[in-house]
Amino acid sequence: MEGFKFMKRLMILLCAGTVLAGCATTPAPVETVAPAETASPAAEAPAAPKPQLGTFGFDATGMDTSVRAGDNFYTYANGTWAKNTPIPADKSNYGMFGALDDLSRERTRTLIEESAKDPNSRIGAAYASFMDEAAIETKGLAPFQPWLNQVKGLGSKAQLPALYAEAMKLGVSTPFGGYVGQDDKNPDQYILSMSQGGLGMPDRDYYLSADAKLKETRAKYLQHLTNVLTLAGEPNPAARAKAVLDLETGIARAHWNRVDSRDADKTYNKMTVAELERRAPGFDFSDLIQATGAQGADSLVVAQPSAITGIAALVRRAPLGVLKDQLLIRSLDAYAAYLPKAFDQEQFSFYGTALSGTPQQEERWKRAVSFTVGALQDDVSKLYVARYFPPETKAAADQLVKNVVDAMGRRIDALTWMAPATKQRARAKLANFTTKIGYPDRWRDMSALEIDRADVLGNALRSNRFDYAYNVGKLGQPIYRWEWGMTPMTVNAYANFGMQEIVFPAAILQPPFFDPNADPAVNYGGIGAVIGHEISHHFDDQGSKYDETGRLNEWWTAADKAAFAAATKQLAAQYDAYEIFPGASVKGAFTLGENIGDLAGLTVAFDAYKHSLNGQAAPTLDGMTADQRFYLGWAQVWRRNYREANLRQRLITDPHSPSEQRVWVVRNLDPWYGAYNVQPGEKLYLAPEARVRVW
């Protein structure tokens, strides 16, 4: 859940596991009948619908009350769950997001298999093509050979821009990443953007850090490069793999770090194509852009100019054979799932096991569901929402969102550090929000995409080309304000700064995040805080740079910025102090936006809950006060166990803090101290003056 600037088509499936819960339904009203002369006994009214978790929406069996809430609120709320919940063999981590993701895929599988009963179903054909492992083995590399031959047959660097453009269309990564998205400084127009690329591992640190664990991963990556070339039948694979690693190490040195790469000001560098070529000589970017189909792009936004300059220089100096080998390996990894099992297993061995610690690949059907959704996402999504997202859930979520938005408005009004003129514009920004709940109000037409039941590789190639053409085709068009960056089956949410929107897919609007039959305190602590989180992204350290029209534009006073920077600096320092492994801590500056979102979201949701009571006292349930239940609702949604390799990777690449530390944000909130009588000397205790207060 983070500020959204651009979302690729393919759905990234979060960790999965056992089924958690399904959608709730509202019972039909009871009809009353006038008694006849000889009346039969009155029918009993149906029992009120029960929440799906516990007695009021919280799974109290997962608590560990031997731990004081003030020492570790995560363990207090979730310790028994964490102790008793194994990570499934095909997962790198497992928790509430993963359980709901598994539920989404199981439901989607049902819909797909029902569709497959129709021999003319494109959904069924896509799924069947992925499931036909025997056909994949029989065909071998032959279906992919035309592309591989094109890569290997590259005759000169003059042909490289066109080849890279073709790779982009196929979803194969190159040293230069490109896409069409909203222009941050002209949000009513689309513009071409370019960013750094060229790495096969997740981050520059994997190439450059002296950390022993990362050195070990580098060695495994080198072996992976060697193995892929060997499987492809290429001679001298070890030496060629080492040359690719050396090239990527140079690219890593040119890369910006993740803190700078999330800075909206630093990454907005608009220039003409001619200016880009002057800044990054030796590579024909004009040819690249023309070959992608973005012919109308006379200017573009370059996210990391010095990195693009450095990468272009490396490409200019690198032997042609090394550049070809890098693209060959990227291609085989990108399409490994549609190639013979040896390629698929090799790709998983590194990216699944070495990088994330996952011992076992997912069952074929799960990956087939993901493939089918990725290829025909709107076609599948229509089926999903028709069956699994009842109107009453949407209506209840709409009301809760409205309440949290209203609470954010009151928080803005009450700020002491923001100038009145800035408050007025902040209020205008809030009023301009679009809230998207459940699913899009229109669907993309995917009928032109050819799907062949006997050709999974061709389906994948055509799907990637189809989506690339769709993205590039936005140039010169009005902004697609109806478009979503996630499918309804995605267990997540996002904020889009330029579109002035907050978006909540159907799959996250169910327990433990939201249950219409649960205690409101738990709902506000769960989905209410998520809603507040996404709202506050528009006012976090990056979202706050976008004005009430969605334009990247300075609109705060100098005093506003100074006060905000002081508070957020304090929050970053708080998270810097959380050491997860010896020598490996949360990166406060990198995770700042998400930590602000958690702090503000929980603060605003608590206010919204209190306001929803209309001055009435909330009941005590199972011996717990409403305030206690609110914070338990927050803690419950972050239940998650990690494999060590996955958690180490997240500390480098994930802008979110680990789940335990996300729960700890409560230590900044005064009502939490009162709810649990947290006292000095307890480990999470902060003196009032040390608590971070932003919104």
Residue 241: the pLDDT is 98
Residue 18: the pLDDT is 25
Q: What Å distances lie between residue 9 and 382, 447, 504, 655, CA to CA?
A: 16, 17, 17, 20
How many residues appear in the chain?
Answer: 695
- Secondary-structure class of domain 159-227+236-322 per CATH: mainly alpha
User: What residue has token string 């539920």?
Assistant: 103
Q: For the beta carbon of residue 283, count every other beta carbon within 10 angstroms.
A: 24
In percent, how much of the chain has pLDDT > 70? Answer: 93
Residue 2: the pLDDT is 36
DSSP codes joined into one string, 126-162: HHHHHH-HHHHHHHTTGGGHHHHHHHHT---GGGHHH
Within 303-390, where are the H helices?
305-317, 320-334, 341-348, 364-375, 377-388
Across-strand partners of 178?
194
User: How would residue 50 be classed by pLDDT, with cut points 50, 70 and 90?
Assistant: very high
Handedness of CA 455, 456, 461, 465 (dihedral sign): positive
Non-local (6+) Cβ contacts of 508 within 8 A are 100, 490, 491, 492, 493, 514, 527, 530
User: How would residue 7 be classed by pLDDT, with cut points 50, 70 and 90?
Assistant: very low
What are 335-351's pLDDT values in tens digits?
A: 999 999 999 999 999 99
Q: Is the pLDDT assigned to residue 129 strictly greater than 70?
A: yes
DSSP state of 32: P
pTM above 0.85, yes or no: yes
User: What residue has token string 């006073």?
Assistant: 557
The 3-class SS string of 286-313 reads: HHHHHHHCCCCCCEEEECCHHHHHHHHH
Q: For the beta carbon of residue 306, count every other beta carbon within 10 angstroms.
A: 16
Cα diameter, the chain: 99
Cβ contact 552:265 at 8 Å: yes
Q: For the beta carbon of residue 482, count every other beta carbon within 10 angstroms.
A: 12
Average pLDDT estimate for 200-212: 97
Average pLDDT estimate for 366-371: 98
Q: Is the pLDDT assigned to residue 132 strictly greater than 70?
A: yes
Give φ, ψ of 32 to 5 degrees. -100, 145
Cβ contact 600:695 at 8 Å: yes
User: How would residue 44 be classed by pLDDT, with cut points 50, 70 and 90?
Assistant: low
Domain ranges of the chain: 159-227+236-322
Average pLDDT estimate for 273-302: 93
Q: Is the pLDDT assigned to residue 255 strictly greater than 70?
A: yes
Cβ contact 341:73 at 8 Å: no
Q: Is the pLDDT assigned to residue 37 strictly greater than 60?
A: no
What are 308-321's pLDDT values in tens digits?
A: 999 999 999 999 99
Give φ, ψ of 595 to 5 degrees. -70, -40
Q: Is 642 helix (H, G, I), strand (E, B) or coil?
A: strand
Non-local (6+) Cβ contacts of 53 within 8 A are 21, 59, 511, 512, 515, 518, 636
* Rounded Cα–Cα distance for residues 450 and 467 (Å): 12
* Rounded Cα–Cα distance for residues 310 and 290 (Å): 22
Residue 46: the pLDDT is 66
What are 62-87's pLDDT values in tens digits?
A: 999 999 999 999 999 999 999 999 99
- Sheet arrangement for strand 186-196: 176-183, 186-196, 299-302, 270-272
Across-strand partners of 196?
176
Q: Is the pLDDT assigned to residue 14 strictly greater than 60?
A: no
Q: Is the pLDDT assigned to residue 26 strictly greater than 60?
A: no
User: What residue has token string 């993963």?
Assistant: 98
Respond yes or no on whether the N-terminal peptide bond of residue 146 is cis (omega within 30° of 0). no
Q: Is the pLDDT assigned to residue 305 strictly greater than 50?
A: yes
Across-strand partners of 621?
624
Task: Point out the least confidently predicted range of 385-399, 492-506, 546-560, 609-623.
Answer: 385-399
Half-sphere exposure of 330 (CA within 13 A, CB side): 25
What are 451-489's pLDDT values in tens digits?
A: 999 999 999 999 999 999 999 999 999 999 999 999 999
Give φ, ψ of 34 to 5 degrees. -65, 140
Q: Considering the chain, what is the average pLDDT of its residues? A: 93
Residue 520: the pLDDT is 97
Average pLDDT estimate for 24-28: 28
Q: Is the pLDDT assigned to residue 293 strictly greater than 90?
A: yes
User: How would residue 201 be classed by pLDDT, with cut points 50, 70 and 90?
Assistant: very high
User: How would residue 296 be classed by pLDDT, with cut points 50, 70 and 90?
Assistant: confident
